[in-house]
Amino acid sequence: MNLVIEHKSLFLTDHQVHDFGDTQLNSTFMPGCFLFTLKVVKFERFAGTKHELNFAKYVITYALALERITFSCCPDLMGRKKWENVIEKIFSYKSCFSSVIMDFLY
């Protein structure tokens, strides 16, 4: 997975996104600038692994200025059915009060 964050020009490769296991991520893990200024996030080659989903949940939950988040699937790692299950799981992270736009590309 590659993570592209526009506005702050942050680009993380899958080697830089760590597996936090069962650790519950919360707002103490990231600086305030991440939480209050992040507007656009793109996950590229998203494979739907546990640590990717945990990080996506964290971003959706705590990035208060978030306007748009895009997930681009890695088709060689997952089929259409698994991708649909991943989309369903990601939608469950979104609060009913959130106005973030979510895009899913296969």
> Cα separation of 24 and 33, whole Å?
20
Q: Give me the residue spans of the domains in the chain.
A: 2-15+31-105
> pLDDT value at position 15?
47
Mean pLDDT of 26-42: 72
Using 50, 70 and 90 to split pLDDT, how confident is the model at 95?
A: confident
Query: Angle 50-62/80-93 helices, nearest 10 degrees?
Result: 30
Q: How many helices (H) and strands (E) does the chain have?
A: 3, 5
- Is the pTM above the cut of 0.85? no
Does residue 97 carry a pLDDT above 90? Answer: no
